[in-house]
Structures are given as structure tokens and as C-alpha cells.
Amino acid sequence: MTRPVFRFAPSPNGQLHLGHALSALLNRDLARAAGGRFLVRIEDIDPGRSKRGFEAQIFDDLAWLGIDWEKPVRRQSEHLHEHRLALDFLNRRGVLYPCFCTRGDIRAASSAGPKDPDGAPIYPGTCRHLTAAERAQRISRNEPYVLRLDMARALSFLRTPLVWTESGDGETEQEVEADPGAWGDVVLARRDVATSYHLAVTVDDAAQGVTHVVRGKDLYHATSVHRLLQEMLDLRAPVYRHHRIILGKDGKKLSKSDGAESLRVMRGTGMAPADIRRLLKL
Ligand code: GLU
């Protein structure tokens, strides 16, 4: 039997906060309990926001929490060729199309329309209807574009209902029906970098042999897209566990820019790792 593989996958675009501490500690604790491996993956595909300085602080905070992880660490930005291969594969299956719409075009065309599970307007599909000649012509004119998944076409390949195994906050596992259609034609390759969160996380989890994805509930609905991509790319599905979200004093989800709950600030006030565990009720 292969050992279970867990991972904590922060984006190096700010300070780690209490929510990250919960994710990292839970992953490490669960890996330990299962006799499994624990990996840290740096999700640095966003060229504008990812900083090596934040990455160093992430490692420092994790070590301070008493967490140990396997080295070398995988950085997503160093594996863009693998994301490209996945895009090529999807393209050959005919489920990708270039989209030339600007943010403004999309806002104007879809603001009154249906919203995705994150509350953003669903892409109205404008560029899905371009002819092959129009696409080729606009690409040859160097018009910037993203690559979108033709959701309806991708769903037409499914032969059985798409599900995932969810163990939630509790001990029992249940099957959840995935609903990727709720996201519409998601972007799989951005303008500035030829990959996207959905594509990179799916490809990298598979490449690293991740068997258990433990992450915040804010990514629960995104799992539907990841399951669809796994089916399309012929990749094994991990088990998922979407844990509680830590809220700030204002009752809102913590963000990387918040000062008070950042681990760095808490460390500065003299808190010990055991205090963090207690705060997190671990
Ligand atoms: N990189 C993502 C984040 O920092 C987490 C991705 C995941 O765990 O799937 O929010």
C-alpha cells in the first residue's frame, strides 16, 4: 500500500495568518496520524503578487509552529511546462477556446446575469461562438487572450455523475455530487501566465501523488472544477476535507493583508506555538 500524501499549498503573496496555521497544522497532524507524507507546495503562478520574501517568511512561520516538511519544495512556477502539457491534452479533446474579452467587456455583458459560487458573474460565452478563422486571425494580430474551458462540451464527455469523497470537519466520509457547470467557462490559462489556479492545483496534486487535499471551506465549490479536470485529464481523485474558516474579530474571513491575525504579529506579541494551537482549538 502506498503512503497517504498530504500537502499545504500557500500562495506567497502575503503573511500567513491563523487560517493558514489551521490548514498547515491539520495537514501535518493528519499526515502523522496516517503514517503519511507531508508536503508544502508554493503556489506562485501569479507573477504580479508572488514574492520570494513572502515565501521565506512562510517557511519561517511553519518552522516556528513546529512543522517539518519534505524538501525540496515544489514551486508551481517551475512546472509551467507540465501545465502546458495538460492544456495541450485538453485542446486536443476540443474543450478549450481562446477568449479575447477584456474585463470591461465581460462586466458589460454579464453583470445582470447568473453568478458563480464565488459571486462573480458567469462568463456569457461571447468568444465561444467565434469561428476558427476569426480566432486564428485575432491570434495572428497578437490580441491578448485567455484559454477557457468549454464547460458544456467538457461535461458532455462524462459518462457517470461526477462526485468526490468529502470528509468535512468530522470523521465520516461522504460522497458529494460535483457541479462544475455552476462555474461556467472557467479560465484555464491566463493572459500573463499560461496556467491558472484550477489547472495548476489539479495537475500539481496529481504530479505529487497527493491522496488527501485538506484546505479551507472557501475552496469547497472549486473542487467541482478540479474533479472535472481530473476526469478530463485521466488523473486520480484525492479525498477532500474542507475545514472550518477562521474569522477575524469583524466576523469576516481573514485576508493576507490583515495585520492582527498574522502569525508574524502574533509571534511578535510573545505568543508561543502552543497558544496558536489553543486559539485554533486543536
Ligand atoms: N494556494 C491556495 C491558497 O493559498 C490554496 C490552494 C489549495 O489548497 O488547493 O489559498
> Residue 88: CB partners within 8 Å, gap ≥ 6?
none
What is the whole-number distance in angstroms between the Cα of residue 10 and the centre of ligand 1? Answer: 5
Q: Read off the pLDDT band of 85 (50, 70, 90).
A: very high
Identify which of 75, 201, 224 to mutate to test ligand 1's pocket (most ligand atoms within 8 A of the CB). 201
d(CA 192, CA 145): 9
- Best residue for ligand 1 mutational test, from 55, 76, 215 (most atoms within 8 Å of Cβ): 215
| Structure confidence at residue 3 as a pLDDT band (50, 70, 90) | very high
Q: How many CA atoms does the CB half-sphere of 224 hold within 13 Å? A: 21
Mean pLDDT of the chain: 95
Q: Are 26 and 273 in contact (CB under 8 A)?
A: no
132 to 137, 152, 193, 200: CA distances (angstroms): 9, 18, 23, 27
pLDDT the model gives residue 254: 79
Separation between Cα atoms, residue 206 and residue 218, nearest integer Å: 21
SS3 at position 33: helix
> Stretch 38-66: mean pLDDT, rounded?
96
Grid cell listed for 163: 462526485
Considering only CA atoms, which of 132, 185, 125, 131 is closest in space to residue 154? 185
The CATH number of the domain covering residues in 79-204:
3.90.800.10
Mean per-residue pLDDT for 15-20? 95
Q: Whose CA is nearest to atom 6 of ligand 1?
A: 9
Q: What grid cell was written down for 170? A: 468530522
Q: Where are the domains of the chain?
A: 79-204
Give the model confidence (pLDDT) of 99-157 as tens digits. 999 989 988 888 789 999 999 999 999 999 999 999 999 999 999 999 999 999 999 99
How do residues 186-199 score in pLDDT, each as one tens digit? 999 999 999 999 99
The Cα 253–Cα 166 span in angstroms is 22
**pLDDT of 219 over the 90 cut:** yes
pLDDT on residue 258:
61
Query: 188 and 196 in contact (C-beta within 8 Å)?
Result: yes
